[in-house]
Amino acid sequence: MISDFKSILSENVLGMKRSAIRELLKLTQDPDIISFAGGLPYPDSFPVEELKQITSEVLDAEPGLALQYGTTEGDPKLRKLIVENYRSYGFDIGMENIVITTASQQGLDLLSKIFINRGDKVIVGLPSYLGGLGAFNSYGGKMIGVCFDEHGMCSKTLEIKLKELKAAGEKPKFIYIIPDFQNPAGVTIPDFRRKEIIELSHKYDVLLIEDSPYKQLRFEGKDQQSLYSMDGTGQVINLGTFSKIFVPGFRIGWVIAHKDIIDKFVVAKQNTDLCTSPFVQKIAAKYIEKGFFDIKLKEIIHSYHEKRDLMLDAFEKYMPEGVSWTRPEGGLFLFLTLPEHMDAEKLFVKAIEKKVAFVIGSVFHCDGSGRNTARINFSYVSKEKNVEGVKRLAEVIKAEM
């Protein structure tokens, strides 16, 4: 091994951190542990038989194209289907406004590669998605956190941060938002708050990044407009994925943006992986064409709705006084807030001993706050294990209190 290995590493690599969630998941491999830690879809929701059929059809119909390199922009049929779906949500877009990525995490990485120089400021929520924070940090971005209220990112605090940066002669590269059933908090930003945030992005001339992997997983309440469709000026970049609503193993995501921005994503992707797998893209396109996607999505929404309701009922029944939690209208997560004196990291160790796992909330806070919070996933385990896991977690919390 080279003697000065660390000294030859790039600044980007030195700035990277291991995913706290991936590291925690290593501790949950014991089959006896009930894990609320991952943001994982329920394995029984995967359309195995349909995919067996479609895979054979793709290989019979166009093996030369399916197994060959593809275009960087993505499979034309899949892009067309996604564009048509977004148009039904009010997006004024064409084929020039979309590029397929290797899941939305690659979208976040390419976004960082395109826009962030070391030391650049990026505005994120407190809390915010760990994968986004990791991507921005790996390119040297300096996160500025904006607190939440019951409506998500607080627009008043956001304006204060933007004013402070402007007064200091600085401008953030973008504002990063997960507007629907936010990871980790489960909060959905209402239309009036979205409008306020868009107006601030125009006033201070800052890009808005709309990361929206959960929007179609609504169980109840009124659907809110997309930031992209509300904006209409090309100042919003929208990230989407099939990982939460189809199969995560296909690693299919996409970026929707102004055509000039998409051009930069295409160039950056060409220098990263050339193209996302044409094989899985063609399978996904045929799956949608046959109508399987819409049928399965309804089944998934029904299943996750039941699991969320069971978990909320269990929280009401078993959690001690002084513990609070969000009540998401969709998505995969709720967010737990413990009494201020409690440390979720210490609680995690004791929870593992009781065979239940969660993700400590501080990893979602760019400023290290949120030590008394935890993210809880309700989609992955069975309904029975959801209730049993809440019982175990409540016992651990009561013992600590």
pLDDT tens track for 306-333: 999 999 999 999 999 999 999 999 999 9
Final residue before a domain boundary, out of 259, 291, 323: 291
CATH number reported for the structural domain that contains residue 111 in this entry: 3.40.640.10
Q: Do residue 83 and residue 145 come from a single domain?
A: yes
* pLDDT exceeds 70 at position 22: no
Would 280 be classed as within a structural domain?
yes
Q: Do residue 13 and residue 35 come from a single domain?
A: yes
Would 223 be classed as within a structural domain?
yes
Q: How many domains does the chain have?
A: 2
- The per-residue pLDDT for 229 is 97
- Between CA 168 and CA 217 the distance in angstroms is 41
Residue 8 or residue 236, greater confidence: 236
Q: Do residue 84 and residue 175 come from a single domain?
A: yes
Query: Rg of the chain over CA atoms, in angstroms?
Result: 21
Q: Do residue 374 and residue 391 come from a single domain?
A: yes
Q: Do residue 211 and residue 124 come from a single domain?
A: yes
- Domain span at residue 229? 68-291
Q: Do residue 208 and residue 246 come from a single domain?
A: yes
Final residue before a domain boundary, out of 291, 311, 344: 291
Residues 6+ apart with CB under 8 A from 209: 111, 174, 175, 176, 177, 236, 237, 239
260-274 exposure pattern, b = at least 16 Cβ within 10 A, e = fewer: ebbebbbebbeeeee
- The per-residue pLDDT for 9 is 76
Residue 143, classed as helix, strand or coil, is strand
Q: Do residue 23 and residue 82 come from a single domain?
A: no
Final residue before a domain boundary, out of 231, 261, 291: 291
Q: Do residue 287 and residue 307 come from a single domain?
A: no
Q: What is the mean pLDDT of residues 282-309?
A: 97
Would 392 be classed as within a structural domain?
yes
- Backbone φ and ψ of 202, nearest 5°: -70, -45
Of residues 256, 257, 218, 389, the one with CA closest to residue 319: 389
Would 196 be classed as within a structural domain?
yes
| Residue percentage of the chain with pLDDT more than 90 | 91
CATH number reported for the structural domain that contains residue 20 in this entry: 3.90.1150.10
- The per-residue pLDDT for 287 is 98
Of residues 337, 328, 283, the one with CA closest to residue 183: 328
Q: Which two tokens stand for residue 167?
A: 């007064």
Q: Do residue 30 and residue 138 come from a single domain?
A: no
Q: Do residue 254 and residue 142 come from a single domain?
A: yes
Would 386 be classed as within a structural domain?
yes
* pLDDT exceeds 80 at position 83: yes
- Cα dihedral value 106, 368, 184, 245, nearest 10: 10
Q: Do residue 135 and residue 219 come from a single domain?
A: yes
Q: What is the pLDDT of residues 97-151, one digit of tens each?
A: 999 999 999 999 999 999 999 999 999 999 999 999 999 999 999 999 999 999 9
Would 54 be classed as within a structural domain?
no
Q: Do residue 78 and residue 43 come from a single domain?
A: no
Would 1 be classed as within a structural domain?
no
Diameter of the chain measured on Cα atoms:
63
Would 95 be classed as within a structural domain?
yes
